[in-house]
Structure 1
Amino acid sequence: MEIKKIHDGLSVSPQIEAAYLEAIKKAGFKAIICNRPDCEVEDQPSFASIEAKAKDVGLTAIYLPVRPGMLTEADVDEFETLLAELSGPIIAYCRTGARSEMLWTQCEARAIGVVETAS
């Protein structure tokens, strides 16, 4: 399992498996955000299977699917809200971790005024 720390409250990862969740919990994470839509590929674990195991080990699991190349302002809004509301540290994942990292980058760009939100 490859985990990339973005900052103290957030790390990103490629697709996780249910079997990884105990190690994720032991590493100190409190919540996971799935940014990968179900059924991108045939052998991908479903979010429901990840969520069930997460619940078993005491992790909060949130489903915020983002289609590749189709990041929306609403996705960024929701991700920003989740980062503010969930107990951390949080691990967000998708196929490679890139969509999850892009969501965080967009949140940070807003925070420093590089990107404005629609009114």
Structure 2
Amino acid sequence: MALTHQTLTYQTLTPDFAVAPQLGPDDMQALADAGFKSVIINRPDGEAGPDQPRSDDVLRAAQAVGLQARYQPVVSGAITLADVAEFAALLRILPKPVLAYCRSGARCTNLFLAAREHGADQIQG
């Protein structure tokens, strides 16, 4: 189900996990206001060129509003088992609920589904 919170649009996959298209530093307060505790950035810096918000700026903004934040760049269409394992580990340790974002949210969805499928049974949802 796609939800909109102020200017923030995201899709809830489980009560503890949601995905979103590209976010920026200015979106972090809305994430916190929506009740998220953590954010994972799966879009590599520069993937969309110089106008794409940099992960360092988003990480700083997330921390400033009390969110846990991690940068895990994953190449679209080239998700590896190592990517899946790292994503699963982040989902186990980060405070919930967690929101992950990439260009459209599809990459994060695929990571989540693969993490659940590949033995990450500690992932709730």
Whether TM exceeds 0.5 here: the answer is: yes
Q: Name the structure 2 match of 1:26.
A: 33
Cα distance in 2 for partners of 1:64, 1:100 equals 10
| Number of matched pairs | 113
User: What does residue range 1-119 of structure 1 map to in structure 2 within 5 Å?
Assistant: 1-42=8-49, 43-111=51-119
Q: How far did residue 112 of structure 1 move?
A: 8.7
Q: Is the 8 A contact 2:42 2:108 kept in 1?
A: yes
* Residue identity opposite 2:114 in structure 1: Q
RMSD: 1.4
Cα distance in 1 for partners of 2:47, 2:9 equals 20
Stretches (4+) displaced over 6 A: none
**Local SS of the residue matching 1:6:** strand
Q: What amino acid sits opposite 1:104 in the alignment?
A: F
CA distance in 1, matches of 2:14, 2:86: 19
TM-score normalised by length of structure 1: 0.90
Point out where structure 2 has 5 or more consecutive residues left out of the alignment. 1-7
Q: Which amino acid aligns with 1:68?
A: S
TM-score, structure 2 normalization: 0.86
Q: 1:4 to 1:83 in 2, by over 3 A?
A: same
Aligned equivalents of 1:107, 1:52: Cα separation in 2: 27
